[in-house]
């Protein structure tokens, strides 16, 4: 592991990771959708994926364990199976794809998810194990590509009218199971480079502090409030990470000598 320099890029990442931790503790999702776009803009999509997997492994355990008793396992397990089967496909696309194209794809996927959820769309089709595996497959590709399994799964579960507490528990449980898949696949793909691991380890305590803050706030916010806040953070992050904002990040780094 290599200890990276603390420059303006690292401080920007830490700020985004803190916000993502709050969103994760509050709603059960949002980490990948908030961190992946900005981390991808700062360090590249491959490094972003590894950083997210590192920060979301151990720090998320305290808030996940209580959720395991609440989650509806009959809904979680088929989705988890779909993720397991197609996660390697996402890793392959990440390794072989163009970084600029991948960033556009990631941002568009995030925007599509938020639009569907904010508009109050409801899934009218079948909700059986086969459909759940298919949704998990889409989530697996997005997870391997950018560690954002959330869009497909959130749209599927939230659009089904499940209570917020069940959606949150299902998501926390699914992402916890997904960590084992992610770590193994990224290790074999050689994406855990020393500098990237060092950045992830340094960001993990910041993320944990955010999780604790969001966990505390969960009992205070209404369902509508926590969804709106989380969606707003996700949209802002996805906007800032679009390739058209590269000059903004470059200008900030130059101004601070980065």
Q: Do residues 64 and 170 touch, judged by C-beta distance below 8 A?
A: no
> How confident is the model at residue 14, as a pLDDT?
94
Q: What DSSP line would sit under the chain, residue for residue?
A: -------HHHHHHHHHHHHHHHHHHHHS--HHHHHHHHHHHHH-HHHHHHHHHHHTSSTTHHHHHHHHTTS-HHHHHHHHHHHHHHHHHHHHHHHHS-HHHHHHHHHHHHHHHHHHHHTT----S--SHHHHHHHHHHHHHHHHHHS--HHHHHHHHHTTT--HHHHHHHHHHHHHHHHHHHHHHHHHHT---HHHHHHHHHHHHHHHHHHHHHHHHHTTS-HHHHHHHHHHHHHHHHHHTSGGGHHHHHHHHHHTT-
Q: Is the whole-model pTM more than 0.75?
A: no
Domain edges within the chain? 8-255
Instruction: Tell me the two tokens of residue 240.
Output: 């800032």
> How confident is the model at residue 232, as a pLDDT?
74
Burial 126-150 (b: 16+ CB within 10 A, else e): eeeeebbbbbbbbbbbbbbbbbbbb
Q: What is the pLDDT along the chain (258 residues), one digit of tens a residue?
A: 567 778 888 998 999 999 889 888 877 777 877 888 788 878 888 888 889 889 988 777 777 888 899 999 999 999 999 998 998 888 888 877 777 777 777 777 777 767 766 676 666 677 788 999 999 998 888 888 777 777 678 778 876 777 878 888 898 899 888 877 778 777 877 778 888 889 999 999 999 999 888 878 776 766 667 667 767 766 776 676 677 666 665 565 555 444
Q: Which of 55, 39, 53, 25 is nearest to 219 (CA)?
A: 25
Q: Do residues 60 and 210 touch, judged by C-beta distance below 8 A?
A: no
Please give the biggest Cα pair distance in the chain.
Answer: 55
Q: Rounded to whole angstroms, how far apart are CA atoms 59 and 49?
A: 16
């Amino acid at each position: 592991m290599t200890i990276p320099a603390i420059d303006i890029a690292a401080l920007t990442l830490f700020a985004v990771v803190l916000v993502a931790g709050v969103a994760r503790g509050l709603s059960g999702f949002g980490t990948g959708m908030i961190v992946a776009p900005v981390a991808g803009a700062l360090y590249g999509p491959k490094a972003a994926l590894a950083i997210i997997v590192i920060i979301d492994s151990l720090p998320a355990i305290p808030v996940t364990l209580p959720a395991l008793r609440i989650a509806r396992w009959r809904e979680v397990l088929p989705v988890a199976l779909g993720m397991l089967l197609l996660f390697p496909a996402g890793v392959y696309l990440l390794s072989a794809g163009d970084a600029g194209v991948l960033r556009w794809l990631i941002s568009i996927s995030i925007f599509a998810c938020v639009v569907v959820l904010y508009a109050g769309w409801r899934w009218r089709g079948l909700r059986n194990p086969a459909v759940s595996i298919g949704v998990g497959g889409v989530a697996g590709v997005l997870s391997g590509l950018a560690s954002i399994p959330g869009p497909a799964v959130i749209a599927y579960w939230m659009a089904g009218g499940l209570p917020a507490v069940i959606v949150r528990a299902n998501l926390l449980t699914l992402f916890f199971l997904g960590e084992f898949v992610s770590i193994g696949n990224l290790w074999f793909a050689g994406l855990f480079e020393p500098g990237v691991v060092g950045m992830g380890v340094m960001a993990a305590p910041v993320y944990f502090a955010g999780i604790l803050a969001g966990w505390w706030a969960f009992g205070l916010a209404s369902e509508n409030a926590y969804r709106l806040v989380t969606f707003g953070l996700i949209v802002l992050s996805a906007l800032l990470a679009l390739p058209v904002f590269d000059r903004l990040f470059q200008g900030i780094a130059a101004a601070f000598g980065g």
